[in-house]
Amino acid sequence: MKKTFNNGLWLGLFCWLLVACGNNNSTTLDDTKQATDSIEAPQTAEALKLIQETDSDGNSLKYTERDSDGVREGLFTKMNAEGVKIEETNYRNGKIVGQRILYYPQGDTMIVESYQGDSFEGIYKSFYPNGKIKMKGVYRNNTMEGIWIQYHENGQLKEEVSFSNNAENGPFKEYHPNGQLSVVGTYKDGANEEGTLKFYDENGVHYKTMECKKGVCRTTWAQEKAKGSKKKGKRS
């Protein structure tokens, strides 16, 4: 009798555990499915189709566009005839957004532009074929603003210019390839020198001063200047 009771007890416990484990597994699977559904990436609103074609220069173009209206959406790449990428651009609603990168034929970066809504917005950089920085500056609302800097191919500063509303406005400095200061002055309403210009040789020695008005400059002092000599015109 005791033995029969023990066997029944163990059988009952086994059945209870089996049912309980089955219920727990069912709950766990349901929770996992719900969690997976909650983080699933949303479906694309409109179907995109991949376009691969060749332009008149023999470059291979690859991009995606909306199936409904043919508007570009996503990454655009251009490869030259040798299979080297020469352009990479992002599109949203048919307009350039984010970075647009242009490459030299050998594949090195040539220009990095920043866009917002098909207009320049943000940092601009260009590079020499040797990879050294050539120019950098900032666009605001599709115009050049603030300090723009150019470099010689050896990496030394070449020019620092102040821009406002897409035109040179404000102080500027130019430098010799050895890094020494070359010219100091001011631009007004574009590349028109205004006020005093000072010139320096490659050793940093000041050798000439000019006074400018609306881009027309007159030498007022120079080393070893002949008596009464005054030159007038655009600076060289």
Judge whether residue 15 has pLDDT over 50.
no
Beta-carbon count within 10 A of 28 CB: 10
- Tens-digit pLDDT profile for residues 152-170: 999 999 999 999 999 999 9
What residue ranges do the domains of the chain occupy?
47-141, 142-222
Residue 224: predicted pLDDT: 74
CATH architecture of 142-222: Single Sheet (2.20)
pTM over 0.85: no
Give the range among 15-19, 47-51, 65-69 with minimum mean pLDDT: 15-19
Q: How far is CA 197 from CA 146, 185, 230, in A?
A: 21, 5, 15
What is 47-141's CATH topology? Outer Surface Protein A; domain 3 (3.90.930)
Q: Which residues contact 13 (CB under 8 A, 6 or more apart)?
A: none
Q: Which residues pair with 65 in a beta bridge?
A: 49, 72
Residue 131: predicted pLDDT: 97
* Range list of β-strands (E), 1-142: 48-54, 60-66, 74-79, 85-92, 95-103, 109-116, 119-120, 122-127, 133-140
Beta-carbon count within 10 A of 189 CB: 13
Dist. CA 143–CA 4, nearest whole Å:
94
- Do 206 and 200 touch, CB atoms closer than 8 A? yes
- Tens-digit pLDDT profile for residues 30-41: 443 333 333 233
Give the range among 13-22, 107-116, 225-234 with minimum mean pLDDT: 13-22
Dist. CA 133–CA 112, nearest whole Å:
11
Residue 233: predicted pLDDT: 62
Residue 232: predicted pLDDT: 57
Dist. CA 52–CA 54, nearest whole Å:
7
Residue 46: predicted pLDDT: 78
Q: Which residues pair with 122 in a beta bridge?
A: 139
- Tens-digit pLDDT profile for residues 205-217: 999 999 999 999 9
Q: Which residue has the higher pLDDT, 129 or 228?
A: 129
Residue 235: predicted pLDDT: 67
